[in-house]
């Protein structure tokens, strides 16, 4: 057991050190180019993605509590719904 504990700690430190940061920015750039080139009429979706990315960027640079991130995401979702965004997963109006 005494041999496994240092190895486990070393593994966990390595895994924790490999957490990627600023990945949302790269995803936003890729999605933004695709949206603007293929479907420029969907620019409001890009705007919502920018807000979510900004929230993630703030969290990467300055740790935000979970409740604050959740509140920010809920506010962004409410704004998106108020602007008329919807996601039709099924043909049923009740389920969507």
Tokens for 47, please give them: 């705007």
Question: How far apart are the C-alpha atoms of 19 and 52, rounded to whole Å?
Answer: 19
Q: Is the pTM of this model over 0.95?
A: no
**pLDDT confidence of residue 33:** 94
62-85 tens-digit pLDDT: 888 999 999 999 999 998 888 888
Question: How far apart are the C-alpha atoms of 85 and 48, rounded to whole Å?
Answer: 10
What one-character-per-residue DSSP string does 32-87 give?
A: HHHHHHH-GGGHHHHHHHHHHHHHHHHHHHS---HHHHHHHHHHHHHHHHHTT---
- Give residues with Cβ within 8 angstroms of 59, minimum separation 6: 69
31-73 tens-digit pLDDT: 999 999 998 988 888 899 999 999 998 988 888 899 999 999 9
């Amino acid at each position: 057991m005494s041999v496994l504990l240092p190895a486990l700690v070393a593994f966990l430190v390595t895994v924790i050190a490999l957490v990627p940061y600023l990945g949302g920015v790269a995803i936003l750039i890729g999605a933004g180019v695709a949206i603007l080139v293929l479907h420029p009429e969907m620019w409001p979706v890009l705007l919502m993605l920018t807000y979510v990315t900004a929230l993630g960027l703030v969290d990467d640079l300055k740790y935000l509590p979970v409740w604050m991130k959740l509140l920010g995401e809920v506010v962004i979702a409410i704004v998106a719904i108020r602007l008329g965004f919807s996601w039709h997963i099924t043909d049923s109006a009740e389920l969507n």
